[in-house]
């Protein structure tokens, strides 16, 4: 069954201390070709019936994201499209 995925990120003009901490730690791991890192969160919503993107946008706007400092995107993902990178 398709899921609705909401990605929430800090707006570009908002300082991201978590992202900066990760970016600063990468050289200690030998990674020197990363210019910047931004940290966000992914929320997956499964509806009981057909996925409702408008309802998901409303949920994201009112509950999942702080519109003053965060942006969000809403998209439909098929179960087959959920590809994970594993070590």
Does domain 3-77 sit in CATH 3.20.20.70?
Answer: no
Residue 59 tokens, joined: 């949920």
Q: Which pTM was predicted?
A: 0.83
Closest CA to 69 of 17, 4, 3: 17
Q: What is the pLDDT of residues 33-87, one digit of tens each?
A: 999 999 999 999 999 999 999 999 999 999 999 999 999 999 999 866 655 545 5
- Whether the per-residue pLDDT at 1 is higher than 70: the answer is yes
Mean pLDDT on 12-30: 97
Structural domain boundaries in the chain: 3-77
């Amino acid at each position: 069954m398709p899921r609705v995925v909401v990605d929430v990120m800090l707006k570009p003009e908002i300082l991201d201390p978590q992202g900066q901490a990760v970016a600063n730690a990468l050289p200690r791991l030998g990674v020197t070709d990363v210019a910047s890192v931004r940290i966000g969160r992914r929320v997956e919503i499964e509806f009981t019936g057909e996925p409702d993107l408008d309802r998901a946008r409303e949920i994201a706007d009112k509950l999942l994201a702080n519109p003053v400092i965060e942006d969000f995107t809403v998209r439909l993902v098929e179960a087959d499209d959920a590809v994970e990178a594993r070590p």
